[in-house]
Chain A
Amino acid sequence: MECTDGLHLSRRGVLAGGVASVAVAAAPAAEARLASAAPPAMMPVSLEVNGRHHDLRLDPRTTLLDTLRDHLQLTGTKKGCDHGQCGACTVIVNGHRINSCLSLAVQHDRDRITTIEGLGTPDRLHPMQAAFVRHDGFQCGYCTPGQICSAVAVLDEIKAGIPSHVSHDLATPMRPTNTELRERMSGNICRCGAYSNIAEAITEVAGAAA
């Protein structure tokens, strides 16, 4: 993959590069050549995180998650699996929640990103954060930022009428029922098992917002 400064990679380009990397990884000789070559060219990327603009130059292998945690020191976003299997890294990108471990930072040039730090602070909690405290919707706290980012986005999804696997009636307005919330939150694992309390926290916020 050749990159020059200022080049904005298309998603297709990144995907092609990704496939090529897998291929060389399977071939030790080619991999050795790749590894002993010069360090990978750094790529520029601009991100707007929690309303603040950042111009970064990154190793193109850097995930959005590691960019947030290691380069911007926004460690509220957690790494639980790095495989899109646990949801601890959930952030809101351009209004939609994603697993930030599953996307490279360079895919997000000029994107608007909201992390847990952008929702509220200990002294000024977002209503969802306050509800999680009140309902004890967490224990160890490690999945919590992802749960909260997801929960905020879920209520927006329901408001926007986006259906889920358990939405039976698409003709009437979507409602934040317990079943809908639990289905939509199921990408966020909480091994401490605070689910029952999380559902109550989200329900309270949904009720207040309705």
Chain B
Amino acid sequence: MKFDTPAGPNPIDRMKVVGQPHDRVDGPLKVTGTAPYAYERHAVAPGALYGFILGAAIAKGRIAAIDTRRADAAPGVKAVVSYLNAGPLGKGGKNTAKLLAGPEVDHYHQAVAIVVADTFEQARAAARLIDVDYVRGSGAFDLAAAAPTAPLTGGSSKEGSAAPKLDRVGDFESAFAAAPVTLDATYTTPDEAHAMMEPFATIAAWDGDRLTVWTSNQMINWAHEDLAKTLGFAPDKLRVDSPFIGGGFGGKLFLRADAVMAALGAKAAGRPVKVAMTRPMMFNNATHRPATIQRIRLGAERSGKLTAIAHEATSGDLPGGSPETATSQTKLLYAAPNRLIGQRLAVLDLPEGNAMRAPGEASGLMALEIAMDEMAEKLGLDPVEFRIVNDTQVDPEKPGRQFSQRQLVRCLREGAERFGWRARDAQPGRRRDGDTLIGLGVATAFRNNINMKSGARVRLGGDGVVTVETDMTDIGTGSYTVIAQTAAEMMGVGLDRVVVRLGDSDFPTSSGSGGQWGGNSSTSGVYAACVKLREAVAQRLGLDPAACDFADGEVRSGGRGVALTSAARDGELVADDTMTYGTLGKQYQQSTFGAHFVEVGVDAYTGEIRVRRMLAVCAAGRILNPKTARSQVIGAMTMGVGGALMEELVVDTRFGFFVNHDLAGYEVPVHADIPHQEVVFLDEADDKVSPMKAKGVGELGLCGVGAAVANAAYNATGVRIRDYPLTLDKHLDRLPEVGAMRRA
């Protein structure tokens, strides 16, 4: 089915099942520990051996020699594989760095070898007995040092966000020079880690020249393609299966070393092999969100109307990599006749930079939305009003192009009302609660909506059960549940009559999970397959499909109702289809919007920032399941607090690696850091997007949160911090005098 004209009324509009806050259908499995994640699938490969990956001890250089004799001789060892005996390997199309080092080493902890042994303890011990002689090369590891000479480079996050190397509208320089009120400030965001709870893990088993990997990957189709390409064999001999995924956030979008090394180890040992990457290896072995340096210039009339916007961002990546497209949202978010966007990319020899939740916008809004707060203050305007004054209903670069739906202003107004924004003191540092300085902050949330082609197969069994099969993944997003709701709504049955099977490359190719496209795209694919199944049912029952209504387990036509089950009495009905998209996404700018409101308390003595209240108001099309969508947003808000206050991969610029490479050193929010969170979804249905009329929401929730926290901290203290994360050392020496506060 091709979606090329705006959706008319359809069965989803009934919203008897879709749009309802159903509990997750996979909930009982997850809360009882019976949902099988990659490493836990004992039944699929009984007697699997254990693999342990050794990572490179240098960031850049080459391997002069590898001596595996001691490891080979260690108890229980069945195989040791390095580049010396792995055979020729290709590189996945979506990998920047190859996944097995040798002889060149491209980054620290790049996989060097795998040891396969009878037990985990034996493999781990033997991995330490591999002697590797490295020749250390020189590399570039310091973004600040490399930035001044970094060339202009456009790019795409491969996950929806894209920015050109240079984009000009009007005459920015003249308008900025002429503007009565201006801001010119530079902001930095650090390298960040996905830090999903489930480590990269794979069980690999060969059957002759056929390979199956049970792994943990967000994009089955990408993993399938790239693993076949890396190992150099035909994709039809490979099966990738990933029914449960313990978080990804973009870290599992791509084929990673666990799958490649498990496959190589299993081949060498002649038996199935299971591999889980150790936590301390994940941070440097895999991808991360690259650090950025962002310069923002704003020029406005005294009324608050922006006349000039410039956003220039620099990030770094390995040779052949791509930029963190932090300027992406600035193309579309606020009106101004004169605009400049520039994107620079330095070559750095740190681990591979790549997509992490809301790549581009997450980093970009951390900077842009502080700049908007600073500008509002210069103008003497309320930050909410300043954003409203500069709203646009058209693409600012192409004014003939409208947004499919844009309710940013309503998000801001409704949020301000609900949050009690009026209580905010425009002059910072004046509100106190005992020894705590109180501040309120706001930021806009913005993230583009992306539609991806997505297929599904739907079966109606003789027992009346509707089974959906698609290689879509559920990374905690609720795919199982919203897909079940979609099939139930379309076929007119209860959720208890629907079975959803996901994550298997033998199933029709789906959108996968990334770029907040998964919910809308995968359910649209299921919609398409269900339309076909409805036709098959009607045909089997001798009814006109166009005149049939599917409800309450019946097919109704002309005042007559027939049990749905009766259509499959003489045999299962199967329908298979893929939703594809026309040009509506080009005709209309499809984006999602929101407003984040945050209250923080800053300890007047220590400078410690604590989040006290959070509210997000989101406008993201039809919400398929308010319960799981809300969870996506509160989870993103939590990640946003991490980005604002604590998350930072610390670069050792001498040796070229992330120093704090475990969950004690790389701090993420814990229970104590997160208060009760409120989320409001505006009632929307976007007919330009898909028959589901839904858009993405999982990344929107993260966009802008960091800046809302930073703006609240400024409102509390009067000290502006432009370098994330906002650790207390960055404002402690400039906080209001405690004595003065006491007197007040």
Contacts and interface: CB of A to CB of B under 8 A. Distances in A.
A114 B572 CA distance: 44
B596 to A, nearest CB: 14
A117 B33 contact: yes
21 contacts: A35-B74, A59-B122, A78-B37, A85-B663, A119-B32, A121-B32, A122-B28, A122-B32, A125-B28, A132-B27, A133-B23, A139-B635, A144-B31, A182-B671, A189-B197, A191-B196, A191-B249, A193-B636, A195-B638, A198-B671, A199-B676
Interface in B229-262: 244-249
B628 A35 contact: no
A122 B32 CA distance: 6
Given A117-B33, A138-B30, A144-B33, 20 more contacts: A35-B75, A39-B75, A59-B121, A70-B120, A80-B197, A80-B199, A80-B279, A83-B662, A85-B662, A85-B664, A86-B197, A133-B24, A136-B23, A139-B476, A141-B31, A141-B35, A186-B671, A192-B631, A194-B635, A197-B634
Q: Taking chain A's interface residues, is the majority helix, strand, or loop, or is none over half, making it mixed?
A: loop
A120 B628 contact: no
Given A76-B33, A142-B198, A183-B672, A136 B126 contact: no
B418 interface: no
Contacts of B249: 191
A120 B42 CA distance: 21
Given A82-B279, A136-B24, A189 B676 contact: no
B125 interface: yes
Interface residues of B, number: 74
Nearest to B126: A35
A78 B197 contact: yes
B121 A116 contact: no
Contacts of B632: 139
Given A61-B121, A132-B31, A186-B672, A75 B36 contact: yes
B566 interface: no
Given A192-B247, A192-B476, A142 B662 contact: no
B337 interface: no
Nearest to A145: B33
B195 A125 contact: no
A45 interface: no
Contact of A117 (B32, B631, B663): B32
B669 A195 contact: yes
Contact of B31 (A82, A129, A140): A129
B662 A79 contact: no
Interface in A69-105: 69-70, 73-83, 85-86, 88
A193 B635 CA distance: 4
Contacts of A75: 33, 36-37, 39-40, 42
Given A39-B76, A142-B37, A116 B677 contact: no
A143 B197 CA distance: 7
Interface of A: 25, 31-32, 35-40, 59, 61-62, 66, 69-70, 73-83, 85-86, 88, 115-117, 119-123, 125, 129-130, 132-134, 136, 138-145, 148, 178, 181-183, 185-200
Contact of B476 (A79, A88, A141, A145): A141
Nearest to A120: B32
B85 to A, nearest CB: 21
B727 interface: no
A119 B638 CA distance: 28
B128 A25 contact: yes
A133 B27 contact: yes
A61 B675 CA distance: 40
B119 to A, nearest CB: 6
Instruction: Please give me the 3 A-B residue pairs with the lowest Cβ-Cβ distance, nearest first.
Output: A76-B33, A193-B638, A142-B246
A127 B154 CA distance: 53
A143 B32 CA distance: 11
Contact of B32 (A59, A116, A197): A116
A140 to B, nearest CB: 3
B97 interface: no
B29 A122 contact: yes
Nearest to B124: A61
A143 B27 CA distance: 13
Contacts of B362: none
B630 interface: yes
A122 B23 CA distance: 14
A199 B677 CA distance: 11
A115 B33 contact: yes
Contacts of B628: 136
A76 to B, nearest CB: 2
Contacts of B280: 83
A189 B75 contact: no
Given A59-B119, A183-B672, A195-B638, A35 B125 contact: yes
B26 interface: yes
A194 B631 CA distance: 7
Contact of B676 (A81, A125, A178): A178
B634 A193 contact: yes
B129 A31 contact: yes
Nearest to B131: A28
A119 B278 CA distance: 28
Contacts of A189: 197, 663, 668, 670
Between A75, A183, A185, A195, the greatest number of chain B beta carbons within 10 A of the residue's beta carbon is seen for A195
A32 to B, nearest CB: 5
B39 to A, nearest CB: 8
A85 B670 CA distance: 11
Contacts of A129: 28, 31-32
B168 interface: no
A32 B476 contact: no
Given A143-B197, A189-B670, A191-B196, A83 B279 contact: yes
B28 A194 contact: no
A137 to B, nearest CB: 8
Interface string B634-661: 1111110000000000000000000000
B216 to A, nearest CB: 9
Contacts of B195: 191
B34 interface: yes
Contacts of B674: 182, 193, 195-196
A83 B663 contact: yes
A82 B29 CA distance: 23
B279 A141 contact: no
A150 to B, nearest CB: 10
Nearest to A62: B121
A61 B124 CA distance: 11
B70 A140 contact: no
B662 A194 contact: no
B676 A196 contact: yes
Contacts of B631: 136, 139, 192, 194, 197
